Amino acid sequence: MMYPVIVTGSATRIGKAIAKRLAARGYPIILHYRRSEREAIELAEDLNAEVVYADLSDSKSVQAMVVELSDRKIGGIVNNASSFIGNSPAERLASDWNELFGSNARGPFFLTVGLIGSVVDGGSIVNITDIHADIPLKGFTAYSMAKAALSQMTRSLAKEFAPRVRVNAVAPGAILWPEKESSEEFKRTVLTAIPLRRLGTAEDISRTVQFLFESPYITGETIRVDGGRSL
């Protein structure tokens, strides 16, 4: 029997690819969204999935999602949702910090710890981090810090939850350009720093998530999927 997998931020882009791939492998899917309600509902119809709302930067909203799902058996969680905000001016520093740490670290932590009792034996948690959890991204200090916390959470919870539940991470390099338009110069600079000379695809990430779900002797590991960029 396959139990549902929660994929956060899965109405669009990489999260959507992960949800589709796991659904194709037979996992029932619980799609999580914040703003992309329409896309989440459309995808849920395609995948015969459920949807759940939470703002991961709001502790009460995360708690409500935990309560909503806590009487269920869960096969796994993919912590994919993330805000990506560059260094902030003083007047936005505190609120952007809250958004960055909420979506990338605190939200995933409380969601995962809150639901761990519902995760079945042999279940799997996969966190989508970033190569910039290790290598700082200039102009994105708080984002890099928050992803570093998620990366440490991967190893710490792998120890805490063993032997019952495995916890791993996928660290993407440059996969999809940010939603906000990127300049041609920025794109050129990024591409020349990638030994494989191209962006990755959402499928490159979803394939690795599937691999981790189906690799019962791997825990506490992070797999970089970055075309060699961090070499």
Q: Where does this chain bind ligand NAP (CB under 6 A)?
A: 9, 11-15, 33-36, 55-57, 80-84, 99, 102-103, 128, 130, 172, 174-176
Q: Given the complex with ligand NAP, which of 100 and 119 has the nearer CB atom?
A: 100
Q: How far is the CB of 214 from ligand NAP (least distance, A)?
A: 20
Cα 97 to Cα 88, 101, 132, 141, distances in angstroms: 9, 6, 17, 10
Contact by Cβ (8 Å): 124, 165: yes
Strands in 74-79's sheet, in edge-to-edge order, are 50-53, 29-33, 5-7, 74-79, 119-128, 166-172, 222-225
Q: Which amino acid is at 3?
A: Y
Q: Please name which of 114, 102, 48 lies closest in space to residue 77, comparing C-alpha atoms.
A: 114
Active site residue 33: no
**Catalytically annotated residue among 33, 53, 143, 217:** 143
Q: Given the complex with ligand NAP, which of 113 and 176 has the nearer CB atom?
A: 176
Q: Given the complex with ligand NAP, which of 120 and 190 has the nearer CB atom?
A: 190
CB atoms within 10 A of CB 155: 16
Q: Given the complex with ligand NAP, which of 70 and 95 has the nearer CB atom?
A: 95
Q: How far is the CB of 163 from ligand NAP (least distance, A)?
A: 27
Q: Kind and range of the H or E element at 121?
A: strand 119-128
Which residue has its beta carbon closest to ligand NAP? 9
Q: How far is the CB of 144 from ligand NAP (least distance, A)?
A: 11
Q: How far is the CB of 47 from ligand NAP (least distance, A)?
A: 16
Q: Is 48 helix (H, G, I), strand (E, B) or coil?
A: coil
Catalytically active residues, by annotation: 143
